Amino acid sequence: MASRNASSASSIKSTTRTSLNSSTTKATSAKPNNAKATPVRDLKPSAKINPKTIDPFDKKKGKSTFAKVYQNGGIPCRLMHGSVKHKLQWTTPPELLGFDPLLVTFAEGLKETVHPYSFVAHEGFIQLLAVEDAEAKTLPLLSQLIAPFKAALISDDDKCFERTLEALVQLSNVVGPSFNVHLKNVLPQISRKLMKKNYKEHVIGALQKIECNGGSEATSIIKSRVPTYSSVL
């Protein structure tokens, strides 16, 4: 009797072991071989609270020419975040800087729509042109600035167009009538915004300032492209 009971118990254990092994095999085969779960204990608290965002300074991503120059330290200023508004901090005072090729680089950055590149390019261009000898430094580069301005003026981003138009007026303020020879090249991009009601006043105001800087020659050039334009001279 004792032998029969021992044999029965041994049989039950063998059956139970076989069943457990079978269940483990099925569970293992059901799990994909390439599945790699990150243990909860390895997750940082910040990873649970803050979702990942795209890093605008990630060098693995494709970047514009201006963004790459900025990342590589080729722009002698950096964005300073203020409580009310942002400003630029220059590593070298603008009046001590050469404009070639820095001014052209800033102009190429005017088409930027991503912060901080858009802010740095616009403010850098404006502040360079504000130095005392800006005219002498800008005139030799004037022809190189037109293509970047055309590229920025055709942007579908409204803020980009506004910033570029402001920079263009500043350029006209600095070089005066010397800009007339290039005016016809940017007028098509400017005049197309006249069709939008919210831009008409802004564009006309810019053209009037350019006309005042360029004189009667500028008037003729503007009216050839915008026949309805009313001269202020």
Write the pLDDT tens digit of every residue in 214-224.
999 999 999 99
- Whether 153 and 114 have beta carbons less than 8 Å apart is answered as no
In a domain, 126, yes or no: yes
Indicate if the pLDDT at residue 7 is higher than 60. Answer: no
Residue 166's CB is within 10 A of a number of other CB atoms, namely 16
**Coil, helix or strand for 82?**
coil
What's the average model confidence in pLDDT over 110-125? 96
In a domain, 28, yes or no: no
Domains of the chain: total:
1
Give the single-character DSSP code of 130. Answer: T
In a domain, 36, yes or no: no
pTM score of the predicted model: 0.73
In a domain, 30, yes or no: no
Most distant CA pair in the chain: distance in Å?
A: 125
E-assigned strands of 20-169? 77-80, 87-90
What are 146-170's pLDDT values in tens digits?
A: 999 999 999 999 999 999 999 999 9
What's the average model confidence in pLDDT over 192-218? 92
Distance of CA 220 to the CA centre of its chain: 36
In a domain, 52, yes or no: no
Indicate if the pLDDT at residue 104 is higher than 60. Answer: yes
Residue 116 belongs to domain with CATH number: 1.25.40
In a domain, 137, yes or no: yes
Q: Kindly state the helix (H) or strand (E) to which residue 19 belongs, with its residue range.
A: helix 2-30
pLDDT above 90: percentage of residues in the chain: 64
Name the residue with higher pLDDT: 50 or 19: 19
Of 1-15, 57-71, 78-92, 117-131, the range with the lowest mean pLDDT is 1-15
- Cα separation of 68 and 46, whole Å? 29
What is the four-CA torsion angle of 200, 206, 212, 217, rounded to 10 degrees?
A: -80
In a domain, 193, yes or no: yes
- Cα separation of 169 and 161, whole Å? 12
Domain that holds residue 178: 63-225
In a domain, 109, yes or no: yes
- pLDDT range class, residue 83, cuts 50, 70, 90: low
pLDDT value at position 64?
84
